[in-house]
Amino acid sequence: MRLPRARRATAGIGAIVIVVLATMLLAGCGAAARASSRPVSASDANRKPWYGLTVLRDHIAFTGAPTAAGPPITASSGILVDIDTGQILWQHEPHRRLAPASTIKLLTSMVVLENFAPTRLITATPEALFAGTDETTMHIDPGEKLTVQELMTGLLMVSANDAANVLATETVGMEKFVAAMNAQAQAVGLQDTHATSPVGLDDDNMYSSAYDLAVLATLDYTHWQLFRDIVDTQQTVLPASALHSEFELTNVDQLLQLYPAAVGIKTGYTGNAGNCLVGLAVRDGHRLLSVLMNEPDYIFATSRTLLDWGFTQEGLPTQYPTPTPKPTPAPSPSLAAATPAAHT
């Protein structure tokens, strides 16, 4: 029986796929390649069926002019919404296009959950494991077989880029998967989102907005129980089997520890994006969702402050003061070893 491996943040920014010859065909993703940065055209986005994949067609609109100034927030962009009423409680440049970092995995998740059964087994080939040493990963080995549910657990809990790359490369291929992400964004009416990879590494053509991320998070959370279960899990172990070794996973979303009402959802960080966080909290039947992008301060505390303020606007008492959690010992060096350039 194989012993659990030490998990550490790994990966690297692969080379941009080169467009060659007059046909402008994109080279396939290899061990050193990452997702195509070719913007998907309108005709591509309208292709039916999309490379054999389907897209979720739903529409969510958040409305209302906030009447209160809200707490002081230093993020470049943000929004706070009641996802049950669609009411905007606070906003700051919610449609500003910014680098989303790993919050783009909310769109990755939508493509996966809409198209692939949780029990489907996927083999991680060397061609899919091209993440470099400054990215966060599960540390999947070539040849290991994981289910879609297991890969989604790594993708959402530890923001595992290797899990995202395996899900894309070993299903329909990286180019088609990323193009399907953009088709999905259009299908739900997003105006300020474009993906160039399933992981969110910095790229001039990779962007989203606080408003769009709020829509994606709401759709993921309301449509799929599996998504809800994963983002609300603080720690889990994927036991070793004949198919793969053991994976010990600790959720990088510290909001789950800081705020009793929190139930997720997704963190993100790159050098260009700064700190990003999509947070959801539930109290007495009220579900509030906050999105902060490029927050220079401790983003989990800022999100807690914003969410708690929102609940007071809906007539609920504050949950302050809440204790600051003791640092959670990481089961492996994976999180603690992340460098400032790490993508989480």
Query: Which residues participate in catalysis according to the annotation?
Result: 102, 105, 159
Angle between helices 105-115 and 161-169 (to 10 degrees): 40
For the chain, what is the radius of gyration of the CA atoms?
A: 19
Q: Give the up-direction half-sphere exposure of residue 248: CA atoms within 13 A in the CB hemisphere.
A: 13
On the 0-12 / 13-18 / 19+ scale of CB atoms within 10 A, 65 is exposed
The residue among 180, 43, 193 whose CA lies nearest residue 115 is 180
Do residues 107 and 184 touch, judged by C-beta distance below 8 A? Answer: yes
203: number of Cβ within 10 Å:
19
**Gap between the Cα atoms of 280 and 289, Å rounded:** 4
Calpha distance 9→233 (Å, rounded): 20
Q: Where are the alpha helices (DSSP H) in the chain?
A: 42-45, 105-115, 148-157, 161-169, 174-187, 210-223, 225-231, 255-258, 299-313
Token pair of 207, please? 């962007």
Beta-carbon contacts of residue 137 (< 8 Å; ≥ 6 apart): 7, 9, 10, 11, 131, 158, 160, 161, 162, 163, 334
Backbone angles phi, psi at 162, to 5 degrees: -65, -35
Residues in a beta bridge with 134: none
